[in-house]
C-alpha cells in the first residue's frame, strides 16, 4: 500500500482513502430545516472496512451521498471537509468530480428498484460506466461487464446483459448495482445496505465479493447497514450513528465486547444474540428525536436509562478513551452492558424545566418512563 | 450460484431471454393487435353519436337543397331518394353497410363521391397540419427543455406563462389577430388561399409546396410558403403551449429520478447524463402529447381553414355542417377519427420501444 502523499502532507495519521471532518448536512424545505448530519468525523484507510450502523433516518445515507457529493445542491447546506483520494471534494468543479466518481469513489445505492435506469439495458449501464473512465473498445467493455455480472453471482451473465431492469428481480438488480459500483475497482466504495434485498446465502456471497475486492485492490469500504450481524462479519471498525451524530466509534471487536454508549448497548440487547438466545431482550423505548430541531442536549437523552443531569445541558462530545470513542456523559459499565440496564442508582434524571424543548421531547418519547423518574427522583 | 433462483423476491417468474430487439418480438405484435382491437369499439360509439348529433341540428337537407320554392311533395320525394324517410337506425345500418363496401356516400351539395372529394382536399389539410405540428414541436420541445433547465427562475416563469397563454387563446382569436397584424396592417403576408392567384401548379401531390418544387418553380414555392405561414402559426399555438408544459414537467420529473443520481455517481459526462438518463426517460409523455396534437390539429383545421380560406377538409366540413350535407360530415369525421386513433397507436408503439416496461404493463 502506498501512502497517499497529499493526505500525508495534511498530517493525517493514516493513509486515509476517504476522510470526513466535522461534516454537517442540513436539508432546507421551506421554513423547515432537517439536521440530518451533525458533526461527523470519520476516516477509512485503504483496504479497511468501516461499518456505519444506526436506525432508519439517522443520516447514514446522507453521509454516504455527501462523500459522493450527490446531495441535492439546492436544498442542502453542507459544512466540514470531505477528502476523497486526496482531493477536498467540496470545492471541486463538477467536471473534475465526474472524473472521480465511479473511478475513485463509487456507491451501491440503497434502493435497487429505482436506482437503475429503466429504459437502458443492464449491459449498457455497466458498459457506459467503464467507457466513461477507460479507453477501451465497446466489445471489451461488454465482456468486462459480463465478467462483473458473473462475479456478483448472476447466472447466464452474457444473456442478462441484454435485459432491462424491470425484467429481473430486486435481488438481481441489487447485484447489478454492485457489479456497476465495483466495475472500476474504486479506491472508496460506499455500500448502502448492499444486501437488504438478498437472501442469507446470497448476502454472504455478496459480502465476500466486497471483502475480496477490498483485500485485493485496497478499496476502502464503507458499509452502511442497520444490521449488526453484517457489521460483525465484515468490518474492522464501526461508527454507531444516532440522529446525525456518531455516538460511538471503535474497533469492531471492542465494540461488541464492550459497548459503552447506552444506545449501542440498547441496539445489542434489543436483538437476540447467537449463543445467548435465552437472554432477556431489553428493547429501546420511544423513537428517535425529531431532526427538525437543532440538537441542544444529548439526542439520546429522552430514551436513555443512564442519563444524568448534564445530559440535558449540552450535546456530549465524542471523547476518545484510547482507541474507543464515546459521546456520553455517563458511559455504560461493562457489567451493565451484559444485562442491558443500569446497575447503579440515580439515573433517569428528568429534564430540567417543564417548558424547555428538552422536556417536551422527553414527554413525547417516554411518557411512562418519565412518570417513573419524576416519582423516583 | 445455485441459490440465486430463490432471490427473485420482487418479480414473478423467470426473466425472459431477450437478445432480439423489442420490435422484432411477438410482444410488440400482440401489443399492437390488442390496441387495434381496442380502437374498433371507440369507432363504433363515435359513429353512432356523430350520426345522431348531425341529425339533431335543426333543418332539413332536402328543403335546403330544393330551396324555398319547393313543394311538400317534391321535398318528400327527395327525402325518399336520399333515404332520409327511413327510421334513423335503418339509415345508420345502411350507412355502415355502404362504408363496409367502400362507399362513403355522395355529397348532397356537389353530387360527387365524398371519398374522392375528401382525398382531393386532404393534402391541403395535411400540409397545413404537418407544418403546424413541426412548428409546435420545434418551438415547444426546446422551450420546454430550457424552461426545465432553468426551473424556478425568471426564464422558467416567463416560458411557463407564455405556454399557458398560447394554450388558452382560442384559435380564431389568434387567426384573426395575425391576419389583422401581418396581413391588413403590416401587409407582409397573404391572409387567404394556399398560393398566389397567378400560379397554376400541376396537381401531383396536391401539397402546394411540394408541387411547386416538383415543377421547379421557386417563386411559386415562395408564395406557397408565405401562404402557409400565418395559418400554420395559428394552428400551432395551442399545441405548442401544451408541448412546452408537458416537456418541462417531464424533464423535471425525469431529472429528479433516483437513477439519475446513480448515473451521476458513475461519473458520466454531462452530455451523456443529459441525453441518455434524463431526456431519453422524459420522452414517452412528450411523444404521447405530440401524437394527441394530431387531433388538435384536425379539429383546429376547421376553424383555421375557414378563417384563412384554405381549401382543405376542415373548411369543407364547416360548410357541409351549415348545408346539412350529412354524408360529407359523417364520413370526414369518421376518417379523422381513424387517423387520430392510428396516430395514437403509433405513438404507443414508439413509447413501447423507448420504454419496454410500458409494453408489458
Ligand atoms: N432530500 C431530503 N430532503 C429532506 N430531508 C431529507 C432528505 N433526504 C433525507 N432527509 C432526512 O434526513 C434524515 C437522514 O436521512 P437518511 O436517508 O440519511 O437516513 P438513513 O440513516 O439512511 O436511513 P435509512 O436506514 O432509512 O436509509 C432523515 O430524517 C430524512 O428524513
Ligand atoms: S447517559 Fe446522558 S449522554 Fe449518555 S446517552 Fe444517556 S443521555 Fe446521552
Ligand atoms: Mg439510507
The values of phi and psi at residue B253, to 5°, are -65, -45
B119 Cβ contact partners less than 8 Å away, ≥ 6 residues apart: none
CB atoms within 5 A of ion ligand 3 belong to: A 61, 110
Q: How far is CA B360 from CA A45, A164, B15, B102, in A?
A: 47, 12, 13, 36
For chain B, the distance separating the N- and C-terminal CA atoms, rounded to the nearest angstrom, is: 30
| CA–CA gap between residue B236 and residue B136 (Å, rounded) | 5
The rounded percent of chain B whose pLDDT value lies above 90 is 37
CA atoms within 13 A on the CB side of A347: 18
Tell me the per-residue pLDDT of B297-320, one tens digit each, with 9 for 90 and over.
888 888 999 999 898 999 999 989
| CA–CA gap between residue A287 and residue A303 (Å, rounded) | 8
Q: Which atom of ligand 2 is nearest to the CA of A299?
A: 8
Residues in A touching B259 (Cβ below 8 Å): 114-118
CA nearest to A296, candidates A312, A310, A307: A312
Tell me the per-residue pLDDT of A213-250, one tens digit each, with 9 for 90 and over.
888 888 999 999 988 888 988 899 999 999 999 999 99
pLDDT at residue B330 is higher than 70:
yes
Q: Which domain holds residue A349?
A: 258-363
Helix B171-178, helix B280-307: angle, nearest 10:
70
Q: Is residue B89 part of a domain?
A: no
Q: Which atom of ligand 1 is nearest to the CA of A37?
A: 14
Asked if A3 and A84 sit in the same domain, the reply is yes
The pLDDT of residue A4 is 40
Lowest average pLDDT, out of A97-101, A293-297, B118-122, B149-153, goes to A293-297
Asked if A202 and A172 sit in the same domain, the reply is no
Q: Is residue B182 part of a domain?
A: yes
pLDDT at residue B361 is higher than 70:
no
CA nearest to B51, candidates B90, B21, B3: B90
ipTM of the complex: 0.85
The pLDDT of residue A275 is 62
pLDDT at residue A64 is higher than 80:
yes
**Of the candidates A151, A167, A184, which is a domain's last residue?**
A184
Q: Which residues pair with A42 in a beta bridge?
A: A20
The pLDDT of residue A361 is 59
pLDDT at residue B240 is higher than 90:
yes
Asked if A78 and A31 sit in the same domain, the reply is yes
CA nearest to A255, candidates A53, A119, A112: A53
Mean of per-residue pLDDT scores for chain B? 85
SS3 content of chain A, % helix, strand, coil (to 5): 40, 20, 40
pLDDT at residue A51 is higher than 70:
yes
The pLDDT of residue B356 is 74
Asked if A338 and A220 sit in the same domain, the reply is no
Instruction: Average the pLDDT over B105-114 and give the result.
Output: 89
The pLDDT of residue A59 is 94
Task: Give ligand 2 pocket residues (Cβ under 6 A).
Answer: A 262, 298, 300-301, 304, 306-308, 311, 316, 328-330
- Report yes or no: A141 and A131 within 8 Å, Cβ to Cβ: yes
Q: Which domain holds residue B293?
A: 25-58+105-360
Q: Which of residues 185-244 of B touch A (CB under 8 A)?
A: none
Task: Please state, as a whole number, how many other Cβ atoms lie within 10 Å of the Cβ of residue A133.
Answer: 20
Tell me the per-residue pLDDT of A258-271, one tens digit each, with 9 for 90 and over.
999 999 998 888 77
Collapse the DSSP code of A228 into the 3-class scheme (helix H, G, I; strand E, B; otherwise coil) and give the result.
helix
Tell me the per-residue pLDDT of B204-220, one tens digit each, with 9 for 90 and over.
888 888 888 888 888 88
Number of domains in chain A: 3
Q: Which atom of ligand 1 is nearest to the CA of A29?
A: 4
pLDDT at residue B10 is higher than 60:
no
Across the interface, do B15 and A128 touch by the CB < 8 Å criterion?
no
CATH at A14: 3.40.50.300
Across the interface, do B258 and A109 touch by the CB < 8 Å criterion?
yes
Higher pLDDT among residues A201 and B22, named by residue:
A201
Distance of CA B95 to the CA centre of its chain: 25
Q: Is residue B93 part of a domain?
A: no
Nearest to A167 among B15, B262, B265 (CB): B15
Q: Is residue B144 part of a domain?
A: yes
Asked if A313 and A216 sit in the same domain, the reply is no
Q: Is residue B4 part of a domain?
A: no
The pLDDT of residue B210 is 86
The pLDDT of residue A89 is 92
**Of the candidates A165, A184, A203, which is a domain's last residue?**
A184
Higher pLDDT among residues A42 and A350, named by residue:
A42
In this structure, the residue with its CA closest to atom 25 of ligand 1 is A56
Asked if A84 and A191 sit in the same domain, the reply is yes
Query: Cell triple for residue B248?
Result: 418541462
Chain B closest CA to A279's CA: distance in Å?
32
Q: Which residues pair with A77 in a beta bridge?
A: A26
The pLDDT of residue A360 is 60
Distance of CA A325 to the CA centre of its chain: 17
pLDDT at residue B16 is higher than 80:
no
Q: Is residue A157 part of a domain?
A: yes
Higher pLDDT among residues B154 and B359, named by residue:
B154
The pLDDT of residue B160 is 93
CA nearest to A89, candidates A110, A107, A108, A104: A104
Instruction: Average the pLDDT over A115-123 and give the result.
Output: 93
Q: Is A226 in the pocket of ligand 1 (CB under 6 A)?
A: yes
Collapse the DSSP code of B40 into the 3-class scheme (helix H, G, I; strand E, B; otherwise coil) and give the result.
helix
Asked if A295 and A350 sit in the same domain, the reply is yes
Q: Is residue B2 part of a domain?
A: no
The pLDDT of residue A371 is 38
Higher pLDDT among residues A172 and A371, named by residue:
A172
Residue A39: pLDDT band (50, 70, 90) is: very high
**Of the candidates A132, A158, A184, which is a domain's last residue?**
A184
| CA–CA gap between residue A43 and residue A220 (Å, rounded) | 10
| CA–CA gap between residue A122 and residue A126 (Å, rounded) | 6
CATH at B230: 1.10.3720.10
The pLDDT of residue A351 is 67
Query: Cell triple for residue B300?
Result: 383546429
The pLDDT of residue B69 is 84
Residue B265: pLDDT band (50, 70, 90) is: very high
Collapse the DSSP code of B342 into the 3-class scheme (helix H, G, I; strand E, B; otherwise coil) and give the result.
helix
Instruction: Average the pLDDT over A109-132 and give the result.
Output: 93
Q: Is residue A370 part of a domain?
A: no
Number of domains in chain B: 1
Asked if A122 and A100 sit in the same domain, the reply is no
Lowest average pLDDT, out of A71-80, A301-310, B275-284, goes to A301-310
CA nearest to A125, candidates B263, B325, B269, B34: B263
The rounded percent of chain B whose pLDDT value lies above 70 is 91
Q: Is residue A109 part of a domain?
A: no
Asked if A158 and A195 sit in the same domain, the reply is no
Asked if A273 and A334 sit in the same domain, the reply is yes
In this structure, the residue with its CA closest to atom 4 of ligand 2 is A328
Asked if A234 and A270 sit in the same domain, the reply is no
B185 Cβ contact partners less than 8 Å away, ≥ 6 residues apart: none
Asked if A3 and A99 sit in the same domain, the reply is yes
Mean of per-residue pLDDT scores for chain A? 85
What spacing in Å lies between the alpha carbon of A371 and ligand 2's midpoint? 19
The rounded percent of chain A whose pLDDT value lies above 90 is 54
Q: Which residues pair with A16 in a beta bridge?
A: A45
Count the residues in chain B. 361
Amino acid at each position: 500500500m502506498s501512502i497517499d502523499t497529499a493526505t500525508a502532507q495534511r498530517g493525517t495519521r493514516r493513509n486515509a482513502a476517504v476522510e470526513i471532518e466535522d461534516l454537517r448536512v442540513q436539508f432546507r424545505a421551506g421554513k423547515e430545516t432537517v439536521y440530518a448530519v451533525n458533526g461527523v468525523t470519520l476516516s477509512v484507510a485503504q483496504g479497511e472496512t468501516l461499518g456505519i450502523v444506526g436506525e432508519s433516518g439517522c443520516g447514514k445515507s446522507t453521509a454516504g451521498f455527501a462523500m459522493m457529493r450527490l446531495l441535492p445542491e439546492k436544498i442542502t447546506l453542507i459544512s466540514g471537509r470531505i477528502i476523497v483520494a486526496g482531493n477536498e471534494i467540496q470545492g471541486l468543479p463538477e467536471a473534475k468530480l465526474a472524473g472521480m466518481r465511479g473511478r475513485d469513489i463509487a456507491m451501491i445505492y440503497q434502493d435497487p428498484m429505482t436506482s437503475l435506469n429503466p429504459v437502458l439495458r443492464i449491459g449498457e449501464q455497466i458498459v457506459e460506466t467503464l467507457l466513461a473512465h477507460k479507453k477501451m473498445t465497446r466489445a471489451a467493455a461488454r465482456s468486462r461487464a459480463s465478467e462483473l455480472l458473473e462475479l456478483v453471482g448472476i447466472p447466464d451473465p452474457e444473456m442478462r446483459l441484454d435485459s432491462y431492469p424491470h425484467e429481473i428481480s430486486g435481488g438481481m438488480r441489487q447485484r447489478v448495482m454492485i457489479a456497476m459500483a465495483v466495475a472500476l475497482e474504486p479506491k472508496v466504495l460506499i455500500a448502502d445496505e448492499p444486501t437488504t434485498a438478498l437472501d442469507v446465502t446470497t448476502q454472504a456471497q455478496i459480502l465476500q465479493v466486497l471483502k475480496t475486492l477490498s483485500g485485493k485492490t485496497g478499496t476502502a469500504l464503507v458499509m452502511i447497514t442497520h444490521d449488526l450481524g453484517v457489521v460483525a462479519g465484515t468490518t474492522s471498525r464501526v461508527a454507531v450513528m444516532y440522529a446525525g451524530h456518531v455516538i460511538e466509534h471503535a474497533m469492531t471487536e471492542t465494540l461488541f465486547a464492550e459497548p459503552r454508549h447506552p444506545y449501542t448497548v440498547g441496539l445489542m440487547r434489543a436483538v437476540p444474540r447467537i449463543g445467548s438466545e435465552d437472554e432477556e431482550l431489553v428493547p429501546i423505548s420511544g423513537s428517535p428525536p425529531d431532526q427538525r430541531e437543532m440538537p441542544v442536549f444529548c439526542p439520546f437523552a429522552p430514551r436513555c436509562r443512564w442519563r444524568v443531569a448534564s445530559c440535558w445541558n449540552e450535546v456530549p462530545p465524542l471523547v476518545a478513551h484510547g482507541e474507543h470513542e464515546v459521546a456520553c456523559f455517563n458511559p455504560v459499565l461493562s457489567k451493565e452492558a451484559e444485562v442491558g440496564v443500569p446497575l447503579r442508582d440515580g439515573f433517569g434524571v428528568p429534564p430540567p424545566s417543564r417548558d424547555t424543548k428538552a422536556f417536551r421531547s422527553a414527554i413525547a418519547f417516554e411518557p411512562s418512563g418519565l412518570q417513573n423518574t419524576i416519582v423516583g427522583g | 450460484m445455485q441459490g440465486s433462483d430463490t432471490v427473485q423476491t420482487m418479480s414473478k417468474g423467470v426473466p425472459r431471454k431477450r437478445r432480439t430487439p423489442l420490435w422484432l418480438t411477438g410482444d410488440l405484435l400482440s401489443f399492437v393487435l390488442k390496441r387495434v382491437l381496442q380502437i374498433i369499439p371507440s369507432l363504433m360509439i363515435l359513429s353512432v353519436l356523430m350520426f345522431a348529433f348531425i341529425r339533431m341540428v335543426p333543418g332539413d337537407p332536402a328543403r335546403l337543397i330544393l330551396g324555398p320554392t319547393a313543394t311538400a311533395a317534391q321535398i318528400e320525394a327527395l327525402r325518399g331518394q336520399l333515404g332520409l324517410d327511413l327510421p334513423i337506425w335503418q339509415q345508420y345500418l345502411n350507412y355502415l353497410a355502404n362504408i363496409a363496401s367502400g362507399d362513403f356516400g355522395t355529397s348532397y351539395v356537389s353530387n360527387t363521391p365524398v371519398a374522392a372529394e375528401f382525398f382531393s382536399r386532404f393534402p391541403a389539410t395535411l400540409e397545413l397540419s404537418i407544418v403546424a405540428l413541426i412548428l409546435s414541436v420545434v418551438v415547444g420541445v426546446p422551450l420546454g427543455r430550457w424552461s426545465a433547465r432553468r426551473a424556478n427562475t425568471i426564464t422558467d416563469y416567463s416560458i411557463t406563462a407564455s405556454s399557458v397563454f398560447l394554450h388558452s387563446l382560442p384559435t380564431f382569436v389568434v387567426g384573426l389577430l395575425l391576419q389583422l397584424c401581418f396581413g391588413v396592417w403590416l401587409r407582409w403576408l397573404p391572409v387567404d388561399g394556399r398560393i398566389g392567384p397567378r400560379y397554376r401548379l400541376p396537381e401531383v401531390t396536391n401539397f402546394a409546396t411540394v408541387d411547386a418544387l416538383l415543377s421547379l418553380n421557386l417563386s411559386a414555392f415562395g408564395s406557397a410558403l408565405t401562404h402557409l405561414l400565418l395559418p400554420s402559426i395559428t394552428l400551432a399555438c395551442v399545441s405548442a403551449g401544451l408541448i412546452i408544459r408537458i416537456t418541462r414537467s417531464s424533464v423535471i420529473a425525469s431529472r429528479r429520478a433516483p437513477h439519475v443520481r446513480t448515473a451521476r455517481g458513475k461519473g458520466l459526462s454531462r452530455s451523456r447524463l443529459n441525453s441518455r438518463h434524463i431526456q431519453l426517460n422524459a420522452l414517452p409523455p412528450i411523444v404521447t402529447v405530440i401524437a394527441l396534437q394530431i387531433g388538435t390539429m384536425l379539429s383546429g383545421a376547421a376553424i383555421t381553414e375557414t378563417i384563412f380560406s384554405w381549401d382543405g377538409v376542415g373548411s369543407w366540413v364547416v360548410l357541409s355542417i351549415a348545408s346539412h350535407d350529412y354524408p360529407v360530415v359523417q364520413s370526414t369525421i369518421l376518417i379523422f377519427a381513424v387517423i387520430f386513433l392510428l396516430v395514437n397507436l403509433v405513438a404507443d408503439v414508439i413509447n413501447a420501444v423507448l420504454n419496454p416496461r410500458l409494453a408489458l404493463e
